[in-house]
Amino acid sequence: MALSRREREVAELVALGLTNRAIAQRLFLSERTIEGHIDRAFSKLGFSSRTQLAMWIGALERSERSAESGTSPLPAQLTSFIGRQNDLAALRGVLADHRLVTLIGPGGSGKTRLAIELAGGMATGGTSAWLVDLSSISDLALVAQIVATAVGATGAGSPTDAVIDRMRKTKGVLVLDNCEQVASAIAELAERITAACPDVALLVTSREPIRVAGETTWRVEPLAVPLKDAAAVEISGFEAVRLFEDRARLAAPGFRIDDSNVAAVAEVCRRLDGLPLALELAAARVAALSPAQIVRRLDDRFSFLVGGSRSSAARHQTLKTTLEWSFGLLPPTERRLFERVSVFAGSFSLEAVEAVAGIEPLERGQLVELLGLLIDKSLVAVTAETRGELRYRLLDSMRAFGREMLSAEADAAAIVERHARLYSSIAIEAGKRLAGADAVEWLSLVIEEVDNLRAALEWTIEHDIQLALQVCASLAGYWDLHGWLYEGRHWLFRCLQADSGEPSMQRGAALAAAGLLAYRQGDYAVATTSFEATRHVADAIGDRALHARALAGLGDLHIVRSQPTEALRCYEQSLELYRSLNDRPSIARGLSRLGNAYDNLFDYEAEEHAYRESLALFRELNDRIGIADQLFSIGMCRMISGRFESALPFATESISLRTQVGDVLGVAWSQMIVGICETRLGHHLAAAHPLCQALTGMEEAGDGRGLGLALDASVGPLAMTGRPDVALRIASAAAQLRTSVGYSQPPFFGPLIDGWVKDARGGLSPSRADREEILGQGLSREEAVHLAVKHLQAITAEEVPATGTALTARERQVVALVADGLTNREIAKRLAISERTTDSHLQHAMGKLGFRSRSQLAVWHARGALAGGDLKNR
């Protein structure tokens, strides 16, 4: 029932917060008359409080303003709609089939804007559209009345009946916006409307489903953001970047994304997870700050991302108020869990949540359910499934907000400590497992948990330095294996600096780890100091195992300094200590080192014998990494002793195993062996591709010595394929690198490279050759790699057969798997055929293509010679 003019006037003054006396004075009426008007308004609307009346007036006024602005009651949008074209297209289809669709997603993800865009697009040709904003309504009793008012339903009876009467006669889409806090009332109303109004579609926006029969939910994800390594030309195409640019131009019309700011804009988008609200708030700052300055201020995002448009809802004025709105709606147990999971960095597992967050007042048994509720409410996202287990994460802004809320709790420090201690334990256990049969699984776990491990390290450095040293020492093998040498050294440096310096097992282990990573990076001075310090600590605390490690590390350094006799002495002493401890994994590694020393003493028989003994022990231990290393070493031994053909199977098998275990640097070294062997066999095409892989792998891992040797190895194919100028430049750049890194060429390399350089010089005039060498000296490390890779790729382009159509479908499958680095046994298993059949397919394919090696096949495949064929469907 409609209010009279005077009742409406009084209600408007109530909504302004005036008392009855103030209203009476304003309208020149008595207080009693005012009371009468208010009572009648309550009675007509079914209300019992002034708050309800005020909310109703607010909704009524918004509805009237919308109606005045055009034929559609949808509010006019002042900014352009960016992206989400796929969502729009798909949602039109969904709405055609399902008449109740709920858009769910975190606060600020753009649900409302998407709903308005969708409804606006449908409001043509006799189809109406309405928008009812319920964000300010928390009283369930008010919901139907607010909707009735918004759609202009003024009939007698209950507000729900009035809405149905109004809609029954109409074709249209009704948008019920911001419903999470009144979900049950919306569910009731939606059920009635869908049953009684066959031509009306309901589009609900909420942070969680309203849970009613017939509801279809559509998750509104944040906008796509560029990955860290995205090329500059690709970045501007991402939706998040386009939104940022569009909104930035509103603040600063001259703003545009160019080479100078594209990386910073991409970083802003990534740091804000593509959340539209956060992007808009950040973009508004472009008038005063550059994107790079904005990035620097995002650590304090809640005080920075404020000042949304005045037309926005109050909860969208700042990023923080948006999150506070969602947080404020949570029951206490969900709030506590949300705060606690904010300690996780990156993604996390349910088991980790139970370990960290399962203390009072929460019970471990309720965490699964609570986590599910947070997911429903778009506060926690499901990110991936690994090994049959789901992983979860918080958007960065949610996480930062959760941490802020957690910090106000009495148990905040305890939760952060539990997180740090859990991941420290995982790191320590992973360190022990690296030498075992399940090392690969642990490596994948470490990679998966890397963000949490970093967070744990930060905490331990500040609160428990001995634990930090132990964690670093435990992770060193993984940093080495995965090629994270810079990061590993950074953490070790920080820990060792923060430690008191008193001898301890933890300090000794960390020093040895620092020595290993410095050695891997070619920083031999630091490596020597670290291993010497390790030995002193070992002596001080009487730790034989630590002493053995230090001796092994010092032996490695003697090797790179061409002091094999000294190296052999260190290795033998180290091995003796390990044997006295019956430490079988270390004995296996010690034997491998012994083989290396014999290599440098040119005793190839003793060398291969040591590697084979080590290989047998690693096979007993079922240690795939150790097995791969020995296969590589045997391949290397055979290569150095001139047995190139017989070296290839060992090197190739090591590539396969190292690929499986994710040993990026190891793969690069194995590829280098393959490249050199193929060059020596005259297969320049087959050599070029693995050498490219070796160069990029060494560069990625930051292995200075490996990179120098790979550059040296590239000289051969370049010189032999009519590129003497490039070959000389590369040889000269490699020589420069040797000086700057401070290593000697292994004995095998010198004569080999000298021979290639001589050939290259022979192809040029002496003055030209000198000039090329001088140019090579001026190349930076990156320029040298770029030049070598470019010309090696050109070799493969010149020589690869054009087509693979002569191959059968099975032959193509086998070739593709060879290119993936699989052995014949693995291919046979994958394709469910025998090894003999696999070999037969391989021989046929090589015969048809005129190749002699697996590497040639891999190159040919990598170049896309099979593109368009059956392989796309393998």
Based on CB atoms, which residue is closest to other proteins, 155 or 358? 358
Based on CB atoms, which residue is closest to other proteins, 457 or 568? 457
CA distance 694 to 728: 19
The binder of other proteins chosen from 429, 754, 770, 798 (CB under 8 A): 429
CA distance 152 to 259: 53
CA distance 810 to 832: 12
Instruction: Please identify, among the stretches 135-143, 208-216, 415-423, 602-610, the one whose residues bind other proteins according to the rule CB under 8 A.
Output: 415-423
Question: Which residues share a beta bridge with 174?
Answer: 130, 202
The binder of other proteins chosen from 71, 86, 500, 582 (CB under 8 A): 582
Closest separation between CB of residue 579 and other proteins, Å?
13
By the rule CB under 8 A, 426 interacts with other proteins: yes
Closest separation between CB of residue 455 and other proteins, Å?
15
Number of residues engaging other proteins in binding (CB under 8 A): 25
The percent of the chain in helix, strand and coil, each rounded to the nearest 5, is: 70, 5, 25
Q: Is 618 in contact with 630 (CB distance < 8 Å)?
A: yes
**Amino acid (one-letter) located at 139:** D
CA distance 319 to 304: 9
Angle value at C-alpha 777, between 772 and 779, nearest 5 degrees: 95
The binder of other proteins chosen from 399, 421, 547, 558 (CB under 8 A): 421
By the rule CB under 8 A, 464 interacts with other proteins: no
C-alpha separations of 233 from 44, 146, 237, 782 in Å:
62, 49, 8, 21
Based on CB atoms, which residue is closest to other proteins, 403 or 584? 584
The binder of other proteins chosen from 152, 358, 503, 869 (CB under 8 A): 358
By the rule CB under 8 A, 356 interacts with other proteins: yes
Instruction: Please identify, among the stretches 16-24, 87-95, 140-148, 351-359, the one whose residues bind other proteins according to the rule CB under 8 A.
Output: 351-359
Closest separation between CB of residue 423 and other proteins, Å?
9
Instruction: Please identify, among the stretches 15-23, 302-310, 350-358, 394-402, the one whose residues bind other proteins according to the rule CB under 8 A.
Output: 350-358
Closest separation between CB of residue 618 and other proteins, Å?
14
Which strands, in side-by-side order, build the sheet including 381-386?
A: 347-349, 389-393, 381-386
Closest separation between CB of residue 537 and other proteins, Å?
20
Q: With both helix axes pointing from N to C terminus, report the angle between 664-680 and 465-482 in degrees, rounded to the nearest 10.
A: 30
Closest separation between CB of residue 526 and other proteins, Å?
30
By the rule CB under 8 A, 806 interacts with other proteins: no
By the rule CB under 8 A, 361 interacts with other proteins: no
By the rule CB under 8 A, 352 interacts with other proteins: yes
Based on CB atoms, which residue is closest to other proteins, 424 or 856? 424
**Phi and psi dihedrals of 222, rounded to 5?**
-60, 165
As given in the structure block, the two tokens for residue 617 are 């022990």
Q: Is 316 in contact with 113 (CB distance < 8 Å)?
A: no
The binder of other proteins chosen from 391, 418, 841, 861 (CB under 8 A): 418
- 3-class SS of residue 602: coil
C-alpha separations of 776 from 698, 729, 736, 779 in Å:
19, 4, 8, 5
As given in the structure block, the two tokens for residue 354 are 């139970």
Of 47, 50, 193, 211, nearest to 132 (Cα)? 193
Closest separation between CB of residue 334 and other proteins, Å?
17
Based on CB atoms, which residue is closest to other proteins, 194 or 470? 470
> Exposed, middle or buried: residue 231 (CB in 10 Å: 0-12, 13-18, 19+)?
exposed
474 to 493, contacts with other proteins by CB under 8 A?
Answer: none
Q: Is 423 in contact with 460 (CB distance < 8 Å)?
A: no
Q: Is 714 in contact with 788 (CB distance < 8 Å)?
A: yes
Based on CB atoms, which residue is closest to other proteins, 627 or 667? 627
Closest separation between CB of residue 415 and other proteins, Å?
12
Hey, how many other C-beta atoms are within 10 angstroms of the C-beta on 605?
Answer: 10
433 to 462, contacts with other proteins by CB under 8 A?
Answer: 438, 441, 445
As given in the structure block, the two tokens for residue 740 are 């700057």
By the rule CB under 8 A, 542 interacts with other proteins: no
The binder of other proteins chosen from 422, 527, 567, 637 (CB under 8 A): 422
Closest separation between CB of residue 363 and other proteins, Å?
10
CA distance 874 to 867: 12
Q: With both helix axes pointing from N to C terminus, report the angle between 854-862 and 664-680 in degrees, rounded to the nearest 10.
A: 110
Based on CB atoms, which residue is closest to other proteins, 470 or 521? 470
Based on CB atoms, which residue is closest to other proteins, 441 or 754? 441
The binder of other proteins chosen from 321, 425, 562, 793 (CB under 8 A): 425
Closest separation between CB of residue 171 and other proteins, Å?
48
> Exposed, middle or buried: residue 648 (CB in 10 Å: 0-12, 13-18, 19+)?
buried
Based on CB atoms, which residue is closest to other proteins, 115 or 341? 341
Of 715, 712, 696, 697, nearest to 745 (Cα)? 712
By the rule CB under 8 A, 346 interacts with other proteins: no
- 3-class SS of residue 253: coil
By the rule CB under 8 A, 393 interacts with other proteins: no
Closest separation between CB of residue 441 and other proteins, Å?
6
Based on CB atoms, which residue is closest to other proteins, 432 or 874? 432
552: Cα within 13 Å, side-chain hemisphere: 25
Q: Is 784 in contact with 845 (CB distance < 8 Å)?
A: no
By the rule CB under 8 A, 616 interacts with other proteins: no
The binder of other proteins chosen from 297, 544, 584, 786 (CB under 8 A): 584
By the rule CB under 8 A, 354 interacts with other proteins: yes
Which strands, in side-by-side order, build the sheet including 100-104?
A: 128-133, 172-177, 200-206, 100-104, 216-219
Closest separation between CB of residue 355 and other proteins, Å?
4
Sign of CA dihedral 616, 618, 619, 625: negative
Closest separation between CB of residue 823 and other proteins, Å?
21
The binding track of 313-342 with respect to other proteins, each residue x by CB under 8 A or -, is ------------------------------
Indicate the Cα dihedral angle 657, 661, 665, 671, nearest 10°: 20
The binding track of 364-383 with respect to other proteins, each residue x by CB under 8 A or -, is xx-xx---------------
Of 437, 475, 428, 482, nearest to 626 (Cα)? 437
Based on CB atoms, which residue is closest to other proteins, 364 or 874? 364
Q: What is the β-pairing status of strands 381-386 and 389-393?
A: antiparallel
CA distance 479 to 489: 9
By the rule CB under 8 A, 26 interacts with other proteins: no
Which residues of the chain form contacts with other proteins (CB under 8 A)? 350-352, 354-356, 358, 364-365, 367-368, 418, 421-422, 424-426, 428-429, 432, 438, 441, 445, 582, 584
